[in-house]
């Protein structure tokens, strides 16, 4: 089924597909608005256009599907305008699903709704073990090859990283974020394949930059303007980088490294501090090599 469900208000149920095929969960944006000011991008006096929101979200769905990925859709929930940023509410990894623990009270119910969607579709999400200051949001976790990377400093905590490592029995590499505009790791780091990653080094502390230089053989560094354009808040589907916009320099550099770029503009969602990565929860993300 290729038609979106934003107009119909019905959930799209997952189909049986090979495990290696990318699959994302998105939430219809009928209730999306800037209600709170939880990050430096949010301003209640600057509201997104509902018509533009619908067009951008539908365009993102069609772009992701056109690249061969599967898209599942959950209903929006009145009173949860940021539920559209499904990435934040859950940490999927190697067949396990861990509920996020939000620092901001305004967003905590989002984890409940994404967990309920997972249960309805045969997946049982796990909770982090309770610990003081153990906050962890999905936007702060990414996978580079066999490595689990996690950001901290604004929304997530190192205690949250430790809780994730205990829950999934994995090693978590902690990276400290230093710019409040880049409050999640997926705003300044985007793994592309087993050798390359987009990195905005100015948004990370010295230890984090050093760690990434050890783990990533060929980082592609973003300049400040590219980072501020949300270029790292992207996903990769079959070697194609999907981002909201791509300046000419970066497009050229990515092409030199063998990557195609597909732009799916989501400027209205940037008014709440989110872009392509934030809007897409990768349901079958893995640290294991493809069979």
End-to-end Cα spacing for the chain: 27
Q: Are 11 and 276 in contact (CB under 8 A)?
A: no
Q: Is position 142 annotated as part of the catalytic site?
A: no
Q: How far is CA 175 from CA 18, 98, 205, 223, 287, in A?
A: 33, 20, 8, 19, 18
pLDDT of res. 21 = 86
Q: Is position 184 annotated as part of the catalytic site?
A: yes
Collect all residues with Cβ–Cβ distance below 8 Å to 262 and sequence separation of at least 6: 63, 67, 240, 241, 242
CB-count exposure of residue 123 (10 Å: 0-12, 13-18, 19+): middle
Q: Where are the beta strands (DSSP E) in the chain?
A: 23-27, 70-74, 90-93, 96-99, 141-144, 147-152, 172-176, 189-191, 196-199, 218-221, 235-237, 240-243, 260-263, 281-282
| 70-74 and 23-27 beta bridge pairing | parallel
pLDDT of res. 130 = 77
Domains of the chain and CATH, by start: 23-282 (3.75.10.10)
User: 113, 161, 184, 196: which is the annotated catalytic residue?
Assistant: 184
pLDDT of res. 12 = 56
User: How many CA atoms does the CB half-sphere of 24 hold within 13 Å?
Assistant: 28
User: 190, 240, 246, 278: which is the annotated catalytic residue?
Assistant: 278
Per residue of the chain (291 residues), give pLDDT as tens: 343 444 434 465 544 334 568 999 999 999 999 999 999 999 999 999 999 999 999 999 999 999 999 999 999 999 999 999 999 999 999 999 999 999 999 999 999 999 999 999 999 999 998 777 999 999 999 999 999 999 999 999 999 999 999 999 999 999 999 999 999 999 999 999 999 999 999 999 999 999 999 999 999 999 999 999 999 999 999 999 999 999 999 999 999 999 999 999 999 999 999 999 999 999 999 998 765
């Amino acid at each position: 089924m290729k038609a979106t469900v934003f107009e119909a208000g019905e959930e799209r149920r997952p189909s049986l597909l090979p495990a290696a095929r990318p699959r994302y969960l998105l939430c219809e944006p009928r209730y999306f608005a800037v209600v709170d000011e939880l990050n430096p991008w949010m301003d209640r006096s600057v509201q997104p256009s509902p018509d533009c929101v619908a067009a951008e979200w539908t365009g993102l769905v069609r772009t992701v599907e056109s690249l061969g990925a599967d898209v599942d859709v959950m209903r929006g929930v009145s009173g949860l305008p940021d539920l559209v940023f499904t990435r934040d509410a859950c940490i999927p990894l190697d067949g396990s699903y861990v509920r996020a623990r939000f620092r901001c009270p305004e967003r905590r119910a989002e984890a409940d709704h994404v967990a309920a969607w997972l249960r309805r579709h045969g997946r049982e999400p796990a909770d982090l073990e309770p610990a003081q200051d153990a906050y962890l949001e999905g936007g702060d976790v990414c996978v580079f090859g066999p490595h689990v990377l996690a950001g901290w400093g604004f929304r997530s905590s190192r205690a949250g990283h430790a809780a994730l490592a205990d829950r999934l029995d994995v090693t978590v590499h902690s990276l400290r974020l230093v710019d409040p505009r880049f409050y999640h790791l997926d705003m300044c780091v985007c793994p592309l394949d087993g050798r390359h990653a987009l990195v905005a080094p100015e948004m990370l502390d010295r230890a984090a930059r050093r760690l990434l230089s050890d783990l990533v053989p060929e980082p592609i560094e973003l300049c400040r303007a590219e980072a501020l354009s949300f270029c790292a808040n992207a996903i990769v589907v079959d070697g194609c980088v999907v981002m909201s916009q791509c300046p000419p320099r970066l497009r050229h550099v990515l092409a030199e490294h063998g990557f195609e770029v597909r732009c799916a503009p989501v400027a209205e969602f940037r008014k709440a501090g989110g872009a392509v990565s934030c809007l897409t929860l990768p349901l079958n993300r893995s640290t294991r090599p493809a069979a």
